[in-house]
C-alpha cells in the first residue's frame, strides 16, 4: 500500500480506523497514525496543548496499547465533528514496535 507524505509533516501517515479511549468514558475514532502521533475524529474540539491518556488496539489484535497524547492541532472537520492531531508522549517500546510493524506491512 502506498501512502502520501505531506511535506509539512515530520512523519508519514497511514490510515488507521480504530476506536480510541481518550478520556474517562470518552471515545473517538482514529483517522490515521504515524510513528509520532495519531489523528482523532471527535464530537468536541480538543484544546491545543492538553494531554490525554490514549488507549487503543490495532485491527485484528488483542493487545491494548496505552500512551499519552498531546493535542498539537485541532480543527472543525464538519458541522458536528472535529479533527485533532495528537503527538505521542511517553510511548512504550511495545507500542513503537507495533507502529513500526504496521508501517512495514503497508
- pLDDT tens per residue, range 55-93: 999 999 999 999 999 999 999 999 999 999 999 998 999
Report the CATH fold assignment for 14-98: Thrombin, subunit H (2.40.10)
Q: Domain limits of the chain?
A: 14-98
Beta carbons within 8 Å of 34's beta carbon, 6+ residues apart: 9, 10, 11, 12, 13, 14, 99
The total of other beta-carbon atoms located within 10 Å of residue 13's CB is 21
Position 8 confidence tier, pLDDT thresholds 50, 70, 90 = low
pTM, to two decimals: 0.87
CA pair distance 8, 5, nearest whole angstrom = 9
Contact between 84 and 40 (Cβ < 8 Å): yes
CA pair distance 12, 48, nearest whole angstrom = 21
Contact between 103 and 15 (Cβ < 8 Å): no
The total of other beta-carbon atoms located within 10 Å of residue 14's CB is 16
- pLDDT tens per residue, range 11-43: 789 999 999 999 888 899 999 999 999 999 999
Position 4 confidence tier, pLDDT thresholds 50, 70, 90 = very low
Q: The C-alpha cell of 15 is what?
A: 490510515
Residue 24 confidence (pLDDT): 86
Residue 74 confidence (pLDDT): 96
Amino acid at each position: 500500500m502506498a501512502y502520501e507524505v505531506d511535506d509539512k509533516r515530520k512523519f508519514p501517515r497511514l490510515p488507521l480506523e480504530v476506536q480510541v479511549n481518550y478520556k474517562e468514558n470518552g471515545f473517538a475514532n482514529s483517522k490515521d497514525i504515524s510513528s509520532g502521533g495519531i489523528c482523532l475524529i471527535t464530537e468536541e474540539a480538543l484544546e491545543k496543548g492538553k494531554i490525554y491518556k490514549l488507549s487503543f488496539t490495532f485491527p485484528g489484535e488483542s493487545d491494548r496499547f496505552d500512551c499519552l497524547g498531546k493535542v498539537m492541532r485541532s480543527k472543525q472537520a464538519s458541522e458536528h465533528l472535529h479533527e485533532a492531531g495528537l503527538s505521542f508522549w511517553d510511548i512504550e517500546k511495545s507500542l513503537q514496535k507495533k507502529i513500526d510493524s504496521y508501517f512495514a506491512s503497508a
